[in-house]
Amino acid sequence: MKQQLLSLSNGINLDCRLAGVDGRPLMLFLHGFPEAAFVWDEMLTHFADPAHGGYFCVAPNLRGYANSSAPADVSAYRAKYLVQDLVALKEALSPHQPLACLVAHDWGGAVAWNMANQHPELMRQLAIINSPHPGTFLRELQSSPEQQAASAYMNFLIRPDAESLLAEDDYRRLWAFFTNMGAVDGPYAWLTDSVKAQYREVWSQGLTGALNYYRASPLRPPRDNDSAAAAITLPKSMLDILVPTLVLWGMQDIALPPGLIDGLEDYIPDLTLQRVADGSHWLVHEQPALVARSLQAFLHTA
């Protein structure tokens, strides 16, 4: 496993974890909140192995995270700029062939959905793990009391004092993201002391960039004096995904209930949907072997 800070053509630097041989078909792995690139280490090692395809595997710390560029302006975290980062990263790593697969979770998935819609020619396949498609997410935020309640935490994360509150008591509230959104029965065996140390190292470098993703997006529940998702209309042309797509969904996700996967076929003609009955939002941590098997089978359909 290598770590390298890559300077992109759009002026952003992304700190990346890399495995495999440069020049082989590229797989990109995108993390979510409050995570970082290291969550993909097991997948990078697996898919870089010649026995599993020998891919060139790269996981960036997204804009605002860890050692990557963290612009101060909240507007710099709008989707169009995050997509620009991915396009520039892809061109830096694989200028002459499309991505073999873009794999993404949570906020990484939000960026990946947009990239797949806007630049389908840059990838052969898309794999999403518990990250809502913007069309179904907007629908549920506007019409589902269950989803509005499940997403209420977003309005906490946009508070101006969210950074200080999240850092209190050794990041007590951030650890609760894992346990409260984890498997209903627990235990959280994956949340070991060594994994906690990796998270502390990332969080100690600052939380503002990560929180600015929420501050820059209107896709959150409406509240007093803030219509948020209630005021949004998205044309279908901004929602269609025309690349073969795997959606792997932990059905015990507390923040993203299963209603979000209803109607995906309206936007994704070539959809493979795999429900994981005992999986939660943190499926990559909880069941990495299952995630690797599912991705491997999907890659073989290309």
Q: Which amino acid appears at position 103 of this protein?
A: V
Q: Which DSSP letter does residue 191 get?
A: -
Strands (E), 79-160: 101-105, 126-129
**CATH number for the segment(s) 2-299:** 3.40.50.1820
Give the per-residue pLDDT at 94.
Answer: 97
Q: What is the pLDDT of residues 240-259, one digit of tens each?
A: 999 999 999 999 999 999 99
Strands (E), 131-270: 245-250
Parallel, antiparallel, or unpaired: how do β-strands 56-60 and 126-129 relate? unpaired
Q: Per mean pLDDT, which of 24-28, 180-184, 226-230 is the most reliable?
A: 24-28
Q: Mean pLDDT in the chain?
A: 95
Of 115, 49, 57, which Cα lies nearest the Cα of 88? 115
Q: What is the pLDDT of residues 198-245, one digit of tens each?
A: 999 999 999 999 999 999 999 999 888 888 888 889 999 999 999 999
Of 63, 50, 56, 47, which Cα lies nearest the Cα of 14? 63
Of the given ranges (16-25, 159-168, 217-226), which has the lowest mean pLDDT?
217-226
Give the per-residue pLDDT at 181.
Answer: 67
Q: What is the DSSP string of 4-42?
A: EEEEPTTS-EEEEEEES-BTBPEEEEE--TT--GGGGHH
The yes-or-no verdict on residue 184 having pLDDT over 80 is no
* Domain extent listing, the chain: 2-299
For residues 141-155, average pLDDT: 95
Of 61, 40, 219, 217, which Cα lies nearest the Cα of 129? 40
Give the per-residue pLDDT at 143.
Answer: 93
Strands (E), 31-114: 56-60, 101-105
Which pLDDT band, with edges at 50, 70 and 90, does 188 fall under? confident
117 CB-near residues (< 8 Å, 6+ apart): 238, 239, 240, 241
For residues 134-157, average pLDDT: 95
